């Protein structure tokens, strides 16, 4: 195994073009486990740790440009206001040591359905900035996950950054594991209210071959909130709406039985998390949102 | 060139005089080193020119080995040796703690997933690993034996043909490793008197010891043709007795030294890499180091027996137990390990700490193709405690009685007969422990709420799900549960359970110094701390040197069965008494004429001086000893026990008992099936706390290990393939600090007059009652029956 250590992003792209089988490594929290377990023996490891700009982020007008290697700890410490859902998800990643090294870029590169950041990215809205010597393309995160541990990157592409929409409303993230910390998701759910567009977006983790949005649940909820004038009134969401939203979120799952849990439990738990996180975000919106809307009107 | 990271003497001293004796919480000499990461574990050793050993393990659970082709592996650059069964040097090719049925390397057949098949030595661990992958093993699959039905079916494949062990004549099928019935009184007649009868079937999952330092050691070939082995183990001499015959060496030529042990909990009683490293070292003439990674460690040691238990109890209207009928089936897996002794414990302690005169009990261990199971903290008493405590709650409910009062009414006390007919001849404060644990203050309701900027806020760390943020209080119901247990201390059933201590006293640099040399394995339990305390108390010195544990001194027995402070501590105390007598004789000879008290008074050693009982100083030890060293080595044993009768189970099988009670307070998210254990209060009788802080640590650790099996820990074995499904810490979960509750501890010290200082073994008892207490609390919160551990979200949500 050769260890490639490019000093600059341009060198990294050139190395990836020259060695398309090279596996990029930053924090190593996933890649090293795979290697140690002998699950993979890459010909080349492409070390991105010398490229400082990958660990930087920029808060723009509408979105955060999050460098691929920004560790979870930084997201928790500095981007809680802009990316509340992702910050909550970051809290649940591994241990403090893992959070100091692991990054969203790594989560996307691995594309495990159990990756903790995916539901938060899906619900917030995000695009993956993929680069190669051929140029740059922006991939909507919904289209990024193509299968179990597979993603939309071309062999010569690297993840430069993730552009995540800044929160325009309350966001929540919830994850079931059979331990109270440092646990891989049995299943997870992310939700973001978008008062600007009067929509709700969701993300489900670890309950289908890829991270998915619960689109039928979103469509139902968006219509129900719209019809009922909930965004304007800020009134409490009726239990029947919450229940149907939860059932549709459950229905969006396509889980398996494995050592971490049964398919039946995953469907059940996603429904519970959907109902609870909707309640939490809506309560928060009721406390702040409608007043702002009225003020704008 | 010596071994880097090899064990050195541990010097301990305290501030002044003879403080730091028994009863003091002297700090552990290894504590700071471990916390700062400087402690040398067995995996940290290094030797110039050393090679790395690697084990090729079976990929199937039951198969005939048709052929093994090592040529490609041998041809790889950097490889120095590849060994299979055919390369073993002598006719002794098996080992085992009780029955030598475990092949050093598979002989034509593998009986469980991960069984060692071949060994590789190479100049780099990765080279060894890759070479092992090039060994071609052709298997022919054999039908699997995975449970009692498949093990005892008429056409069941027999796992061990032509058994000659002491148990085979008493079992109905060769796949039954051992069976122990216990019959006393007339359970069926007594059942007639019962106003209520409750029955239950209980399942106990396979728990792993999950010690953090994986199996490792270093074997160094010696010029005399022997080998020096540095290894992390629980019992050097038991290892030695199994290793030497396989190597074809006399025991004197296999010199063993204990290396830094990263936890054990029973998982290091059986051999792992010991013989393999020695074989490779002797074959190559080079030092060989072997270190398992976590994945291999799951295959490298035995686990706690999974069990199925059927229980029937009866009670009268006024809450008195009438009888017990029970049957306990323990899955011993492919090889015997310590299964027979586990059966002895499970059967003889199946009643729990209760007085029941009429019993009909049977415990068996099976041979199957599942992973071998053996010793783990609690050793057979754990599984039984889970079942009988669930039964106690069912009985109390059936009688509409308070579960604690019902237990207290039936609690054993000093003089109660065990089902084996043996009277408990030391304090048995079972009712008192229950009273104390119930009397402790309860943690506040809704303890996750705290005052925040906008009123009360939920701290998710105090809720089920923790940082995963699954509940802010929704669906959360509190439950409270109680349990109590009994564990035997020391080796039982007639085992000659002794220890050896060598104690030396001499003047070093103008100060009297005691050196304690035993073969006791310090596995983290704090033995080295306590040994120094005993020497200080008995010899009146401040400075104590603990010599590294090795085989140049006699056996200390195993660091298990909660026995080391009792037995090796007892041996040290006894040796110290002899040293003291010799020192006093020396004093009388040299200085007797200076003071009449030398001849007439009871003399003590205190603060480095010889003093009379009234405190008058007769001499400095420095002046008594001068250039002389006084050294005593002796063996010490606890009172003998006897085997249980093969048919009735009667017999004085145990020597001492430990009792602990727990109250568990849990919050259950009843919708998601997640559990937060809020508090596990414990009351335990320890006879005498030699080191109160260490006692606290043992109780908190044992309690937490019991919590682990209650709610998360389980090795999952695929019933279709008998393969382990989760051999990693990603999917075998052990409690983190966020899963570990507050553990208030109430320590009783009721002396056992038969034991040194009145002490009782501490380490195991808290592991017993913790698990059923948590389950009782979860049942109270959910109203569910919950007859298996670990309890999973699926069980709590019906999914």
CB contact under 8 A, A178 and B735: no
The answer to whether residues B464 and B676 touch, using CB atoms and an 8 Å cutoff, is: yes
Please give the structure tokens belonging to residue B109: 């057949």
CA-CA-CA-CA torsion sign (A269, A270, A276, A280): positive
Q: Which of B219, B254, B231, B271 is nearest to B101 (CA)?
A: B271
Q: Which of B311, B303, B348, B304 is nearest to B327 (CA)?
A: B311
What domains does chain A contain, in order, with CATH numbers? 2-165 (3.30.465.10), 171-296 (3.30.390.50)
The answer to whether residues B365 and B330 touch, using CB atoms and an 8 Å cutoff, is: yes
What secondary structure letter does DSSP report for B467?
Answer: G
Report how far residue B552's alpha carbon sits from residue B353's, in angstroms, rounded to the nearest whole number.
41
Taking the CA atoms of chain A, what radius of gyration do you get in angstroms?
A: 19
CB contact under 8 A, B469 and A88: yes
Report how far residue A111's alpha carbon sits from residue A212's, in angstroms, rounded to the nearest whole number.
12
Type and span of the H or E element at B18: none
Per-residue confidence (pLDDT) for residue B17, from 0 to 100: 47
Per-residue confidence (pLDDT) for residue B340, from 0 to 100: 98
Domain extents in chain B: 15-37+498-637, 45-142+232-249+268-279, 426-491+651-797
CB contact under 8 A, A184 and B728: no
Instruction: Show which residues on chain A lie within 8 Å of chain B, measured between beta carbons.
Output: 33, 36-38, 88, 91-92, 172-184, 186, 259-262, 264-265, 267-269, 272-273, 276, 279-280
Report how far residue B373's alpha carbon sits from residue B133's, in angstroms, rounded to the nearest whole number.
27
CB contact under 8 A, B793 and A261: yes
Of A175, A259, A268, the CB nearest to B468: A175
- Closest residue in chain A to residue B676, using alpha carbons only: A180
What are the E-state strand segments in B26-115?
Answer: 51-57, 63-69, 79-83, 94-95, 102-103, 109-110
CB contact under 8 A, A178 and B471: no
Residue of A112, A180, A287 best to disrupt the B interface, most CBs of B under 10 A? A180
Report how far residue A268's alpha carbon sits from residue A255's, in angstroms, rounded to the nearest whole number.
11
Taking the CA atoms of chain B, what radius of gyration do you get in angstroms?
A: 27
- Tell me if chain A has a CB within 8 Å of the CB of B585: no
Q: On the CB side of A128, how many CA atoms lie within 13 Å of its CA?
A: 28
CB contact under 8 A, A264 and B799: yes
* Cis-peptide, bond into residue B790, ω within 30° of zero: yes
Report how far residue A254's alpha carbon sits from residue B450's, in angstroms, rounded to the nearest whole number.
39
3-class secondary structure, B94: strand
The residue-averaged pLDDT of A111-124 equals: 97
The answer to whether residues A198 and A224 touch, using CB atoms and an 8 Å cutoff, is: no
Report how far residue B58's alpha carbon sits from residue A163's, in angstroms, rounded to the nearest whole number.
48
β partners of residue B170 = none
**∠ CA B429-B330-B105, rounded to 5°:** 125
Report how far residue B66's alpha carbon sits from residue B59's, in angstroms, rounded to the nearest whole number.
14
| Residues in chain A within 8 Å Cβ distance of B468 | 92, 174-177, 180-181, 183
Report how far residue A195's alpha carbon sits from residue A193's, in angstroms, rounded to the nearest whole number.
6
Distance from the Cα of A178 to chain B's closest Cα (Å) equals 7
Architecture of domain B426-491+651-797: 2-Layer Sandwich (3.30)
Asked if the domains B45-142+232-249+268-279 and B426-491+651-797 are classified in one and the same CATH topology, the answer is no
pLDDT for A223 beyond 60: yes
Per-residue confidence (pLDDT) for residue B14, from 0 to 100: 58
Report how far residue B304's alpha carbon sits from residue B714's, in angstroms, rounded to the nearest whole number.
10
Report how far residue B671's alpha carbon sits from residue B781's, in angstroms, rounded to the nearest whole number.
12
Q: Name the burial class of residue B439, with classes exposed (0-12), middle (13-18) and buried (19+) by CB atoms within 10 angstroms of its CB.
A: exposed
User: What ipTM does the predicted assembly reach?
Assistant: 0.96
User: pTM higher than 0.90, yes or no?
Assistant: yes
Please give the structure tokens belonging to residue A134: 């051929």
Report how far residue A181's alpha carbon sits from residue B739's, in angstroms, rounded to the nearest whole number.
8
| Residues in chain B within 8 Å Cβ distance of A183 | 468, 733
Report how far residue B439's alpha carbon sits from residue B442's, in angstroms, rounded to the nearest whole number.
9
- Closest residue in chain A to residue B471, using alpha carbons only: A276
CB contact under 8 A, A183 and B676: no
Of A37, A186, A269, the CB nearest to B295: A37
3-class secondary structure, B458: strand
Consecutive 10-residue averages of pLDDT for chain B (799 residues)? 72 65 95 95 97 98 98 98 98 98 97 98 97 98 98 96 97 98 98 98 98 97 98 98 98 98 98 98 98 97 98 98 98 98 98 98 98 98 98 98 98 98 98 98 93 80 95 97 98 98 97 98 97 97 97 98 98 98 96 92 94 94 97 98 98 98 98 98 98 97 98 98 96 96 98 98 98 98 98 97
pLDDT for A295 beyond 60: no
* Residues 6+ away with beta carbon under 8 Å from A271: A246, A247, A249, A250
Architecture of domain B15-37+498-637: 2-Layer Sandwich (3.30)
3-class secondary structure, A13: helix
Report how far residue B399's alpha carbon sits from residue B267's, in angstroms, rounded to the nearest whole number.
41
Distance from the Cα of A168 to chain B's closest Cα (Å) equals 21
What are the E-state strand segments in B577-708?
Answer: 603-606, 609-612, 617-620, 630-637, 656-669, 674-685
Residue of B210, B455, B468 best to disrupt the A interface, most CBs of A under 10 A? B468
- Tell me if chain A has a CB within 8 Å of the CB of B467: yes
Report how far residue A45's alpha carbon sits from residue A249's, in angstroms, rounded to the nearest whole number.
39
- Closest residue in chain B to residue A175, using alpha carbons only: B468
* CATH no. for B45-142+232-249+268-279: 3.90.1170.50
- CA B542 from centre of chain: 32
CB contact under 8 A, A91 and B469: yes
Q: A296 falls in which pLDDT band (50, 70, 90)?
A: very low
Per-residue confidence (pLDDT) for residue B355, from 0 to 100: 98
Strand ranges across the sheet with B321-331: B176-184, B358-366, B321-331, B307-315, B196-204, B788-789
Count how many pairs of residues, chain A against chain B, have C-beta atoms within 8 Å.
Answer: 101
- Tell me if chain A has a CB within 8 Å of the CB of B464: yes
Q: A289 falls in which pLDDT band (50, 70, 90)?
A: low
Strands B455-458 and B10-12: unpaired
Per-residue confidence (pLDDT) for residue A290, from 0 to 100: 63
CB contact under 8 A, B671 and A261: no
CB contact under 8 A, A181 and B464: no
């Amino acid at each position: 195994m050769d260890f490639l250590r490019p000093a600059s992003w341009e060198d990294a792209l050139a190395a990836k073009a020259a060695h398309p089988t090279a596996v990029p490594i930053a924090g190593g929290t996933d890649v090293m486990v795979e290697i140690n377990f002998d699950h993979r023996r890459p010909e080349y490891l492409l070390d991105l740790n010398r490229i400082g700009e990958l660990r930087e982020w920029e808060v723009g007008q509408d979105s955060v440009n999050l460098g691929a290697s920004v560790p979870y700890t930084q997201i928790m410490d500095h981007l809680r206001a802009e990316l509340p859902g992702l910050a909550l998800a970051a809290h649940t990643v591994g241990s403090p040591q893992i959070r100091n090294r692991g990054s969203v870029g790594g989560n996307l590169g691995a594309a495990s359905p159990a990756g903790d950041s995916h539901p938060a990215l899906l619900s917030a809205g995000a695009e993956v900035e993929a680069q190669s010597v051929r140029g740059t393309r922006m991939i909507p995160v919904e289209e990024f996950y193509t299968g179990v541990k597979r993603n939309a990157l071309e062999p010569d592409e690297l993840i430069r950054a993730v552009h995540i929409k800044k929160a325009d409303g309350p966001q929540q993230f919830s994850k079931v594991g059979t331990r109270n910390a440092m646990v891989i998701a049995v299943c997870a759910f992310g939700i973001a209210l978008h008062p600007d567009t009067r929509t709700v977006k969701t993300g489900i983790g670890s309950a289908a071959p890829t991270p998915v949005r619960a689109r039928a649940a979103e469509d139902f909820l968006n219509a129900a909130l719209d019809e009922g004038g909930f965004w304007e009134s800020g009134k409490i969401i009726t239990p029947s709406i919450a229940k149907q939203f939860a059932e549709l979120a459950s229905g969006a799952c396509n889980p398996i039985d494995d050592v971490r849990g049964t398919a039946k439990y995953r469907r059940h738990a996603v429904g519970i998390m959907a109902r609870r996180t909707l309640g939490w975000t809506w309560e928060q919106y009721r406390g702040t949102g409608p007043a702002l809307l009225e003020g704008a009107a | 060139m010596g071994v880097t990271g090899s064990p050195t003497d541990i010097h301990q001293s305290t501030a002044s005089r003879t403080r730091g004796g028994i009863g003091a919480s002297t700090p552990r000499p290894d504590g700071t080193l471990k916390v700062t990461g400087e402690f040398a574990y067995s995996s940290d050793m290094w030797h110039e020119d050393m090679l790395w050993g690697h084990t090729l393990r079976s990929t199937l659970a039951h198969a005939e080995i048709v052929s093994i082709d090592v040529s490609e592996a041998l041809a790889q650059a950097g490889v120095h040796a590849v060994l299979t069964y055919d390369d073993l040097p002598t006719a002794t090719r098996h080992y085992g703690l009780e029955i030598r049925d475990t092949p050093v390397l598979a002989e034509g057949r593998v009986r469980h997933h991960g069984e060692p098949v071949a060994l590789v030595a190479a100049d780099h661990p990765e080279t060894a690993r890759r070479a092992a992958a090039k060994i071609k093993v052709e298997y022919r699959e054999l039908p699997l034996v995975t449970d009692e039905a498949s093990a005892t079916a008429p056409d069941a494949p027999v796992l061990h043909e032509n058994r000659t062990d002491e148990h085979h004549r008493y079992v109905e099928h060769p796949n039954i490793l051992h069976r122990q019935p216990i019959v006393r009184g007339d359970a069926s007649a007594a059942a007639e008197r019962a106003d209520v009868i409750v029955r239950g079937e209980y399942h106990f999952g396979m728990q792993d010891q999950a010690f953090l330092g994986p199996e490792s050691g270093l074997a160094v070939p010696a010029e005399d043709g022997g080998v020096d082995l540095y290894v992390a183990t629980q019992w050097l001499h038991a290892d030695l007795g199994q290793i030497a015959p396989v190597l074809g060496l006399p025991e004197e030529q296999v010199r063993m030294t204990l290396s830094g042990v990263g936890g054990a909990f029973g998982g290091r009683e059986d051999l792992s890499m010991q013989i393999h490293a020695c074989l490779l070292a002797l074959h190559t003439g080079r030092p060989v180091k072997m270190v398992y990674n976590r994945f291999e460690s799951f295959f490298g040691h035995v686990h706690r027996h999974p069990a199925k238990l059927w229980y029937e109890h009866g009670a009268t209207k006024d809450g008195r137990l009438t009888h017990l009928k029970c049957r306990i089936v323990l899955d011993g897996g492919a090889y015997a390990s310590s299964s027979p002794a586990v059966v002895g414990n499970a059967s003889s302690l199946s009643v729990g700490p209760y007085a029941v005169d009429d019993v009909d009990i049977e415990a068996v261990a099976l041979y199957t193709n599942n992973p071998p199971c053996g010793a783990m903290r609690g050793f057979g008493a754990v599984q039984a405690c889970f079942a009988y405590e669930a039964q106690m709650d069912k009985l109390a409910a059936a009688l509409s009685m308070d579960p604690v009062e019902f237990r207290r009414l039936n609690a054993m006390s000093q003089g109660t007969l065990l089902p084996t007919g043996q009277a408990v001849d030391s304090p048995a404060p079972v009712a008192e422990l229950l009273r104390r644990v119930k009397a402790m203050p309860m943690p506040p309701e809704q303890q996750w709420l705290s005052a925040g900027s906008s009123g009360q806020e939920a701290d998710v760390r105090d809720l089920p799900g923790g940082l995963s943020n699954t509940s802010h209080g929704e669906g959360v119901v509190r439950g409270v549960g109680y349990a109590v247990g009994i564990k035997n201390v020391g080796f039982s059933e007639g085992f000659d359970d002794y220890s050896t201590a060598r104690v030396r006293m001499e003047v070093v640099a103008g100060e009297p110094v005691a050196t304690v040399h035993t073969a006791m394995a310090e596995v983290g339990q704090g033995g080295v701390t306590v040994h120094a305390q005993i020497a200080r108390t008995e010899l009146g010195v401040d400075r104590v040197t603990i010599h590294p544990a090795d085989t140049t001194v006699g056996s200390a027995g195993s660091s298990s069965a909660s026995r080391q402070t009792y037995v090796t501590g007892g041996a040290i105390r006894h040796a110290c008494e002899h040293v003291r007598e010799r020192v006093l004789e020396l004093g009388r000879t040299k200085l007797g004429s200076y003071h009449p008290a030398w001849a007439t008074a009871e003399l003590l050693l205190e603060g480095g001086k010889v003093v009379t009982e009234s405190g008058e100083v007769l001499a400095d030890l420095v002046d008594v000893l001068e250039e002389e060293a006084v050294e005593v080595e002796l063996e010490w044993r606890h009172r003998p026990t006897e085997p249980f009768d093969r048919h009735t189970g009667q017999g004085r099988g145990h020597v001492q008992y430990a009792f602990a009670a727990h109250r568990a307070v849990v919050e259950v998210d009843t919708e998601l099936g997640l559990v937060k254990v809020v508090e596990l209060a414990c009351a335990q009788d320890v006879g005498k706390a030699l080191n109160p802080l260490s006692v606290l640590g043992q109780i908190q650790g044992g309690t937490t290990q019991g919590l682990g099996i209650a709610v998360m820990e389980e090795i999952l074995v695929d019933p279709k393939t008998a393969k382990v499904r989760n051999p990693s810490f990603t999917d075998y979960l052990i409690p983190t600090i966020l899963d570990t509750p507050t553990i208030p501890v109430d320590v009783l010290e009721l002396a056992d007059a038969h034991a040194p200082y009145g002490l009782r073994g501490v380490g195991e008892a808290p592991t017993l009652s913790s698990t059923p207490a948590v389950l009782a609390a979860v049942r109270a919160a959910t109203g569910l029956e919950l007859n298996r551990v670990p309890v999973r979200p699926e069980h709590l949500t019906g999914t």
